[in-house]
Amino acid sequence: MNKFIHAIALSVVCLTAACVPSVPEGKVRVTGVVTMGGAALSIVPPATGALNFAGTSGSDSGTAPIGKDGSFAVVLSPGPYAVSILAKDGADTMNEQGAPVPARSLVAEKYASTETSGLEVTVDSKGTPLVIAVQ
């Protein structure tokens, strides 16, 4: 019985290790939350949302999906980033005439581009959690 429990425990550890991606050297895993008006931005399917991080001083870039509780996780190099947010209430559709009907944005359109969002963050070497606040 003791060998059986040991085998189960070893299997769980191996499966858990395989499911957690390793972080490349020189990068950090950063977590955080997106808030709107002081509350977590809720992205409940069919709504979709993602953050785009664009390095502003030679650092890399990355994209992170926004969870239904406003949370996100991304692997980036430490440094400054401009951030944009794409969040829609569903998928784009077509009307009866076949013309595209875009899904409604859940955030102001200015947040869709790193050039207009005004959102900037600095990722430190410890991966300190971030709060990205929009109005």
| 87: CATH | 2.60.40.10
Range of the domain at 121: 25-134
Q: What is the pLDDT of residue 9?
A: 41
Each residue of 50-96: pLDDT tens digit?
Answer: 999 999 987 789 999 999 999 999 999 999 999 999 999 999 999 99
Contacts of 21 (CB under 8 A, 6+ apart): 75
Is residue 128 one of the residues assigned to a domain?
Answer: yes
Is residue 91 one of the residues assigned to a domain?
Answer: yes
Contacts of 3 (CB under 8 A, 6+ apart): none
What's the CA gap between 34 and 92, in Å, rounded?
23
Q: How many domains does the chain have?
A: 1
Is residue 10 one of the residues assigned to a domain?
Answer: no
Q: Would the CA dihedral through 72, 73, 75, 78 be positive or negative? A: positive
Q: What is the pLDDT of residue 67?
A: 96
Question: With bands split at pLDDT 50, 70 and 90, how would you rate the model's confidence at 21?
Answer: low
Q: What is the pLDDT of residue 19?
A: 46
Is residue 99 one of the residues assigned to a domain?
Answer: yes
The gap from C-alpha 44 to its chain's centroid, in whole angstroms, comes to: 14
Is residue 9 one of the residues assigned to a domain?
Answer: no
Contact assessment for residue 61 and residue 55, using Cβ atoms and an 8 Å cutoff: yes
Question: With bands split at pLDDT 50, 70 and 90, how would you rate the model's confidence at 22?
Answer: confident
Is residue 44 one of the residues assigned to a domain?
Answer: yes
Q: Is the pLDDT of residue 33 over 50?
A: yes
What's the CA gap between 35 and 108, in Å, rounded?
13
Is residue 3 one of the residues assigned to a domain?
Answer: no
Q: How are beta strands 130-134 and 28-36 bridged, if at all?
A: parallel
Is residue 12 one of the residues assigned to a domain?
Answer: no
Single pTM value for the model: 0.79
